[in-house]
A = this chain, B = another copy of it.
């Protein structure tokens, strides 16, 4: 199939939609981004790359980082991890606190904020120190993306910290149920920092390729996780990857995916490829507007939806 041609078609069709929606503005650092940007990258298990738009421009990966920390924690703790965080979809955001309370501090899945905070805590637990934890998160992302110079944007991290009271509320509530081992302030800070990692679509598409290939990088042959763990991660992405629009995304796109408020979305075609699309203006669910449409067009044109 002519993926490059398909990307070009998508770009043409999507153009009027780029910039529609609203850039994340809850922190000043994200609000500054030009909404009229777009990029899409594909890396196949055979090692071929296809790119369109500003695929070298780095952006804030935000919640996409939850995919990476969840992968690390699953590798470390295997099934033990599920004692601390579930794998079931959650309801409306309104319910996050009541659900956490009703379920005694066990977050429903690793992709809601409460769950990602517990996952970050499990990493700090393992590495004993938050700086070493961050360094290892960065090294893991560098390894899966085969890009050595990936880093955190400290201004974004700082901006988050100045407005992250709700996340601190979650962390303290989890701690009150004894499901957080580190200091809530430190844990949330580490979480904000890994959300502030910056990558471009080429690097992100490459970074999820191992999830399309049963846990092993098909090019370097490096095995990151077991096939079962890869299947688990893909299943959790499909059912929980897009907040309160996971059902919509499953239907419209039909691929395991994870989005971030920076406007990036990664997706996995099991057995075939890793994909990343980016466009900063968000729809009302907090997912990239043009990005979601681009992925929808992609599965329509390629018939690669899993459904």
Contact = CB atoms under 8 A, between A and B. Distances in A.
Contacts of A95: 91, 95, 98-99, 102
Contacts of A170: 169
A307 B231 contact: yes
Given A185-B185, A238-B239, A270-B306, A88 B248 contact: yes
Given A250-B239, A306-B306, A307-B306, A90 B87 contact: no
Nearest to A178: B165
18 contacts: A88-B247, A89-B239, A89-B247, A92-B108, A94-B101, A95-B102, A97-B173, A165-B173, A166-B173, A168-B169, A230-B307, A235-B250, A235-B307, A236-B251, A238-B238, A238-B307, A256-B307, A306-B307
A165 B98 CA distance: 16
Contact of A240 (B108, B109, B185, B247): B247
A184 interface: yes
A176 B172 contact: no
A184 B167 CA distance: 13
A103 interface: yes
Number of copies: 4
Interface of A: 86-92, 94-95, 97-99, 101-103, 108-109, 165-166, 168-173, 175-176, 184-185, 230-232, 234-236, 238-240, 244-248, 250-251, 254, 256, 270, 305-307
The 5 closest A-B CB pairs, nearest first, are A91-B91, A89-B89, A169-B172, A165-B176, A169-B173
Nearest to A87: B247
